[in-house]
Structure 1
């Protein structure tokens, strides 16, 4: 990711507000979104526009890796951020005050089987989201890189 480029935040109003508070406070506000539920900021490069796009996502951990869920609330389509990272897996991540470059990849079936319960323990609604869509909701692993 090139520094100094303008980053476009999620067009979803409440998500954009969350991101702006997160950035403005260095993660002091927004990292813990709800009690025990932590979020990170993920910046991807738009697969069509080439512009940097940022969203906030609930995350879990798998050792040194961060785990996020491409649920989009059970929508039948993958979220744009997921499609973007399939095209360009080089991403930027902010966790609290720390920002770093990472490489994103979709968890393989064995990893997903092991990590899905980790993520549903953090956010039980992921099971509901999977039940309301025919698509297999991907888990994404973010590794420093």
Structure 2
């Protein structure tokens, strides 16, 4: 009996992000972990409508052994990014940070956590404050913890 085939994964629909993800995966995180001078991870979610695996790259920071990301989209666009909507529907995710690959659980930061975590992320990427100032929605902060 042969081993089951790995599931197909679809990369971001945005060409630049998809190219970044491919470089990151192909180099085991050596090319792409530091992008635009900021640390990046690759997040894989399960599509809430299709059930298929979806992969994207994003800036992150660490907080007490957890990873923190911002659910911005199109510099503060009017809707939450698909990856965020996917993890709200199914919080079990897969993450790659550099060469480290692991299963995790993702959740929206609580109201008490968000201000401190938002401040950590804006130290990393100050433009998040501009995105929030112009966004017609509250931009979520996401906490990712190893499973």
Q: TM-score by structure 1 length?
A: 0.96
Unaligned 5+ segments in structure 2 are none
Whole-angstrom distance in 2 between the partners of 1:103 and 1:14: 26
Match of 2:16 among 6, 11, 14: 14
Q: CA deviation at 1:34?
A: 2.2
Q: How far apart in 1 are the matches of 2:110 and 2:33?
A: 27
Which has the larger Rg? 2
Give the deviation of 1:110 after TM superposition. 1.1
**1:136 aligned to 115, 131, 138, which one?**
138
Distance 1:79 1:124 in 2: 19
Equivalents in 1 of 2:5, 2:71: separation in Å?
26
SS of residue in 2 equivalent to 1:134: coil
* Rounded Cα–Cα distance in structure 2 between residues aligned with 1:114 and 1:141: 12
Deviation at 1:4, TM superposition (A): 1.0
1:52 aligns with 2:38: no
- The offset of 1:133, in angstroms, is 1.1
Gaps of 5+ in 1: none
4+ runs deviating over 3 angstroms = none
Q: Distance in 1 between matches of 2:84 and 2:138?
A: 13
Q: Partners of 1:20 and 1:55 in 2: how far apart? A: 10
Q: Are residue 89 (structure 1) and residue 91 (structure 2) matched? A: yes
CA–CA separation in structure 2 for the residues paired with 1:87 and 1:116: 23
Q: How many residues align?
A: 143
Per the normalisation by structure 2, the TM-score is 0.95
Q: Secondary structure at the match of 2:119?
A: helix
